[in-house]
A and B are shown apart, each in its own frame.
With several copies, the nearest count.
Chain A
Amino acid sequence: MALNFADLEIVYEELARTLDRLSPSEREVFLCKLSLLMARDLGDLSRVQAMIQTAQNHLETL
C-alpha cells in the first residue's frame, strides 16, 4: 500500500534537511544511492522504469 500523505511528508522533510547538509556533488551521489536502494527494494523493474520515465516529465523550466 502506498505511503499515506503524512508519512510522505516526513520523507519530504527528511530529504530536504538531508540535502541541506550536503554539498552539491554529495547531494547527487546521495540521491543516486537512495534511488538504487529504493529501486532494488521495490523489486519490480517495469514499475521502477515507469517511475524513471514519469519523473522526467515537466523538468524543463518555463
Chain B
Amino acid sequence: MRPAGKGAHDSLYFTYPAFTAPDRAHVLAREGCKVAIVGAGPVGMFAALTLARFGIASVLFDKKDTFNDGSRAICVQRSSYQALERAGAVKPFIEKAYGWTMGRTFYRGEQILEFEMPHSDSEKYLPMYNIQQQFIEQYLWDAVAASPLIETRWCSEVTGADDTESGARLSVQDTNGRYQIEAEWVLAADGARSAIRSMRGLRLKGDNFPGRYVIADVQMDHAYQTIRRALFDSKSNPDKTILIHRQPDNIWRIDYQMPDGQSEEEAISEDNIRDNVGRILRDIDYQGAWELEWWSIYSANTLALDDYRDGRVIFIGDSAHIVPIFGVRGLNNGLADAENAGWKLARVLKGLSDERLMDSYSPERRGATLDVFENATKSARFMTPPTKGWTVMRDAALSLALDHEWAGAFANPRQMEPFTYTDGGAVLSHTETAGSVKPGAVLPNERLSDDAYLSDLLGNGFTLIVLEEKDPAGLDALKASLLGLDPELECITSGHIRARFGAAGLSRLHERLGTQPGATLLIRPDGYLAGAWPTCVADVIVAQATAAFGRKETH
C-alpha cells in the first residue's frame, strides 16, 4: 500500500515501466514453444535467463503490465549472486546493492548479540546484499529483454494448463483476446497464489505461524551502516519484534510485529503505520524527517507442495513453497529452483540427458525447502513465539543474553548456507571422498589471484577439475567421453592452475578444498559438486556421470 493520494506504482525513487500485451497477429501465428514460463517475477525471469544460457528459447507470460507494486524481497545472498553471474546478469546488482555481513540484536534497548555471517577473502561475493525488489526485477528484465531467446508476453494471464501428449496446452487471455499455445514444458513461477497450482488441483501443505508483521519502507537520511538490526521487547513495540534493514536510495525497511490491541485492518491504516513507524524511528534515535514509501502486511508460513513436479509442469519459487521471511530464503530459494530446473531442462531438451533427470529436481529443491523450514521455524518461533512454552523460553533466552554472551546465540537469525543435496540422481553416489568437499554441496570458492577466483574458471556446463600432479595418461580419452555427455564440458587441470596462478595458487586451492594431489572433482552447471574422487580413474568417472546425467542406452 502507498500513502493516500498516491497510485500503486507511485514510488519516491523508482519509475515503473508500462508494458502492453503482444501483437495479436503474432500470438495467433505462434502455435507452440519448447518452454512456457508463467510469471515474470524474479524467479520466472531468472528461469528464462538460465534456459537462454544453455541456448533454450522460452516464452514468458505475466498478467501484470509492470513490476511488483512494492518491494517485498530485499535480501539477496551470496549463492544467488553466483547464480546471477552464471546467467550473465550480476553486474548491475553489484553496482546498486548494499552488501553486508553483520547483524545486531537488541533486547529492551541493550545489544545482546552481534553476529558476523561466514565470510573470508576466499569469497568473490559478500554473504548478503540488500536491494529493493523493483531493482531486482528491473535488472533481470534488462537481461531478459536483451535476450533473443526469450519472448515476454505482458498483460497475458494464463487461464488454463492442460496436459497434452507432448506437453501442455496453455490458454491465455490478454488485452486483445484469448488464445492457446502448446508447450513441451511449463515452468510455473506465478508466485504464492499460483493460478497454475490451482488449475492442476494441487495444494500447499504445512504450518502457519501466529503473529502478523507489517513491513514499511521509508525514505530518510539515517546514518547507520548496512547492518541488520533486530529489536526485541523495545520501548516502541513492547513484547514484540522489529527488524530494520538499509536499502539503496536512502530507503529503510522497517519490519515490525503488529502491536497488541490493533486489528489487522487497523494496523495497516496509514495513520497507524505513521504512528508505529514514527515511534520506532524515535526509539532508534532518528530525529530527522522521513517519507513513507510503501507498506504491506504478512505472516509467517512454512508451506510446500508434496512434489514440485506435476508431469510436464514444474513449480519454481513461491508457487512451490512459502517460507517465513526470517531467513531471507524466499527469493533466494526461488532463484535456486529456477537454476536447478533450468539447467536440467536444458539438458533434456538438448537430448543430453534422459527426461528422468527432471526427477531429481523436486527431491533436491524440496530438500532445500524443508531445510529452510527447519531453520526458519526456529527463527519464527523466536521472533513470534507461537505458544506459551516457546514464549517463556524465548523470554528466558533473551533475558539471559543480557548477562551471558552464549545466550545471544538463540537470537541468531540463522541465515544459512546453501543446502547440501543428498537425494535424487543428480549427485553421484560416493563411497570415497576427496578431502573436505562433499558431493551435493556448493563448490567452495577461492581467490587464486588479484582478479581471478576459482568460480571464474568454471565452464557454462559441467566442469571437471583434475588435481593429479601430472596429467594422467587417459585424460584425453576421459575428456572425449565426457564431451559426449556435455559438449560444453570445461576441463581444468593442476597444470592449468599452476601455469596461471603458480604453485602457491594450486596449494591454496588444495588447502581450501581440503584435497590431496590426485583429487578429481566434477562440478554441475549450478556450481554444486556432482562427484569427487581421490584419484582420476577415468572409467569410474565416466560410468558414474553417464548414469546420473546421460542418456541411458537401455531406456
Contacts and interface: CB of A to CB of B under 8 A. Distances in A.
Nearest to A56: B399
Main secondary structure of the interface of B (DSSP, over half): helix
Interface string B357-385: 00000000000000000000010010000
Contacts of A16: 381, 387, 389-390, 392-393
Contacts of A52: none
B402 A58 contact: yes
B238 A29 contact: no
Interface in B210-245: 233-235, 238-239
A58 B388 contact: no
Nearest to B235: A62
Given A12-B410, A36-B396, A62-B238, A57 B389 contact: no
Interface in B395-426: 395-397, 399-400, 402-404, 406-407, 409-410
A15 B402 contact: no
A47 interface: no
A42 interface: no
Contacts of A61: 233, 238-239
Contact of A20 (B390, B395, B409): B390
A36 B389 contact: no
Contact of B388 (A5, A8, A20, A40): A20
A49 to B, nearest CB: 15
Interface string A3-45: 0010011001001111111000001110011011100100000
B312 to A, nearest CB: 41
Nearest to B381: A16
A40 B407 CA distance: 10
A62 B108 contact: yes
Given A19-B389, A61-B238, A12 B397 contact: yes
B399 A58 contact: yes
Interface residues of B, number: 26
A46 interface: no
Nearest to A19: B389
Given A5-B406, A20-B387, A59 B392 contact: no
Nearest to A55: B400
Nearest to B407: A36
A29 B402 contact: no
Contacts of A2: 406
B403 A12 contact: no
Nearest to A17: B389
Contacts of A37: 400, 404
A20 B392 CA distance: 10
Contact of A29 (B239, B396, B404, B407): B396
A16, A36, A40, A57 pick with most chain B CB within 10 angstroms: A16
A18 B388 CA distance: 11
A15 B108 contact: no
B402 A57 contact: yes
A26 to B, nearest CB: 10
Contacts of B388: 19-20, 27
Contacts of B238: 61-62
A19 B387 CA distance: 9
A58 to B, nearest CB: 5
A12 B393 contact: yes
B340 to A, nearest CB: 29
B406 A32 contact: no
A62 B381 CA distance: 22
B390 A33 contact: no
Interface in B469-518: none
Contacts of A29: 392, 395-396, 399
A2 B407 CA distance: 12
A32 B392 contact: yes
A10 to B, nearest CB: 12
Contacts of A20: 387-390
A9 B390 contact: no
A17 B407 CA distance: 19
Nearest to B390: A16
Contacts of A55: 400
A56 B476 CA distance: 67
Contacts of B407: 36
Contacts of A40: 406
A17 B377 CA distance: 14
A57 B392 CA distance: 15
Q: Which 3 A-B pairs have the closest CB atoms?
A: A19-B389, A32-B396, A20-B389
Interface of A: 2, 5, 8-9, 12, 15-21, 27-29, 32-33, 35-37, 40, 54-55, 57-59, 61-62
Interface of B: 108, 233-235, 238-239, 378, 381, 387-390, 392-393, 395-397, 399-400, 402-404, 406-407, 409-410
20 contacts: A2-B406, A9-B378, A16-B392, A16-B393, A18-B389, A20-B387, A20-B388, A20-B389, A20-B390, A21-B389, A29-B392, A33-B396, A35-B396, A37-B404, A40-B406, A54-B403, A55-B400, A57-B403, A61-B233, A61-B238
